[in-house]
Structure 1
Amino acid sequence: MSKYLISFPSSAMTVRGPELEAVADASHAVVREAKTAGVWVFGGGIDESVPPVMVDGTGTVLESTYAETRHIEGGYAVLDLATREEALDWARRLAVACRCAQEVRVFGDDPES
């Protein structure tokens, strides 16, 4: 089993107004399916109203981020799946429910996590 990150940036979510409630209902249904299937690890969206900070190697909190990750935002789901094909299937379900494309990445296996 491997853990897969399925995600989308906030800019991909173009649905607005009354249709947004239907998107939320559909995506929550997919989340419930993943939980019932026993593959859901966790998910959620980045709270963009709270600015990110970085804790450096000395433990000091800095009001900055890595340049490469400055714009991380959007929605995320982590699922524990046996194959990449399963990850793509769940990404398809989420893409249809959210009405926006989903990116799929695999986490490297770590026996301690």
Structure 2
Amino acid sequence: MTYYLISFDRGAMDHIPEEDFPQVGKESHAVCREAKDAGVLVFAGGVHYDTDEPLLAADPAVVGTDGVITDGPYPESKELIGGVTIVDVPTREEALRWAAKIAVACRCAQDVRRFMDDPERV
């Protein structure tokens, strides 16, 4: 099968009223359980950003090829990932079906990308 990354940008859920987040969480977890039960879920999770403590390890960092660590995302980055789901499915169409379920549950659009085939993938 083939791995697909389903993701959304940080801030994509900012339009959701605070009081709706428990329901959004319930619905998104239900989709993840459904994908797990279907045997296609590899990983799912939201990316943690601690806006009160900007230099915590949970914040973005770049580790250069020389090993130097720079706090923050790549300077060229315009968006930060807010959440990811990785599914292992046979077709792009099936990946899009899962992305649609996630989009409805999370109430935000999802980006779908195929991972490169790699026979040595761990």
Could you say which residue in structure 2 is the equivalent of 1:35? Answer: 36
1:112 Cα shift? Answer: 1.4
Contact 2:49/2:59, CA 8 A, preserved across alignment: yes
Q: After TM superposition, where is structure 1 displaced by more than 6 Å over at least 4 residues in a row?
A: none
Tell me the TM-score normalised to structure 2 length: 0.83
* 1:69 pairs with one of 70, 77, 81: 77
1:65 Cα shift? Answer: 3.7
Percent identity of paired positions between Structure 1 and Structure 2: 49
**Matched positions, count:** 113
Could you say which residue in structure 2 is the equivalent of 1:108? Answer: 116
Distance in 1 (CA, whole Å) between partners of 2:104 and 2:71 is: 37
Read off the aligned partner of 1:63 and give its amino acid letter: D
1:4 Cα shift? Answer: 0.6
Could you say which residue in structure 1 is the equivalent of 2:2? Answer: 2
Could you say which residue in structure 2 is the equivalent of 1:47? Answer: 48
Read off the aligned partner of 1:97 and give its amino acid letter: A
Distance in 2 (CA, whole Å) between partners of 1:70 and 1:102 is: 17
Distance in 1 (CA, whole Å) between partners of 2:75 and 2:63 is: 14
1:48 Cα shift? Answer: 1.5
Distance in 1 (CA, whole Å) between partners of 2:75 and 2:42 is: 28
Q: Which runs of 5+ in 1 are unaligned?
A: none
1:64 Cα shift? Answer: 4.6
Higher normalized helix content (fraction of residues):
1
Q: Which runs of 5+ in 2 are unaligned?
A: 51-57
Tell me the TM-score normalised to structure 1 length: 0.89
